[in-house]
Amino acid sequence: MFALVVKFDLFDADKEAGFDQLVTETVESITENEPGTLVYAVNAVEGEPLSRIFYEVYRDREAFDEHERQPHTRQFLDQRSEYIESFRVEFLSPLMAKGLPEAG
């Protein structure tokens, strides 16, 4: 299993709808085309209306690499800079979880 968390901070409220639409289109394609993507959850942050947290879990590193090569992912990565002020990626080493394959 391979997992990561990404926090995006948007420029301003005017960029929020455009970013959320780009994310919606991307997640639809991920759902349809990526069997190795086990979880791709996009969250708003309480008290931070211009922040989004992505929680991503992949079958393995190869599934993540395949995700990164997909046209919909490339489009998201190319267009995100129009909307975000900053982002931070945290790669995770899953130890245990309910509802996911066992780590190990």
| 103 vs 80, more confident | 80
pLDDT at 104 > cutoff 70: no
| 97 vs 56, more confident | 56
| Measured distance CA(58)–CA(94) in Å, rounded | 11
| 98 vs 58, more confident | 58
As a whole-number percent, the residues of the chain with pLDDT over 70 amount to 97
| Measured distance CA(104)–CA(84) in Å, rounded | 35
Per-residue pLDDT at 48: 97
Relative to beta strand 48-58, strand 2-10 is: antiparallel
Q: What residue ranges do the domains of the chain occupy?
A: 2-92
Per-residue pLDDT at 94: 81
Mean pLDDT, the chain, as a whole number? 95
Concatenate the DSSP letters of all residues of 51-70 into one string: EEEEEEEESSHHHHHHHHHS
For the entire predicted model, the pTM comes to 0.92
Secondary structure (3-state) at 77: helix
For the domain with range 2-92, which CATH number is right: 3.40.50.720, 3.30.70.100, 3.40.50.300, 3.90.850.10? 3.30.70.100
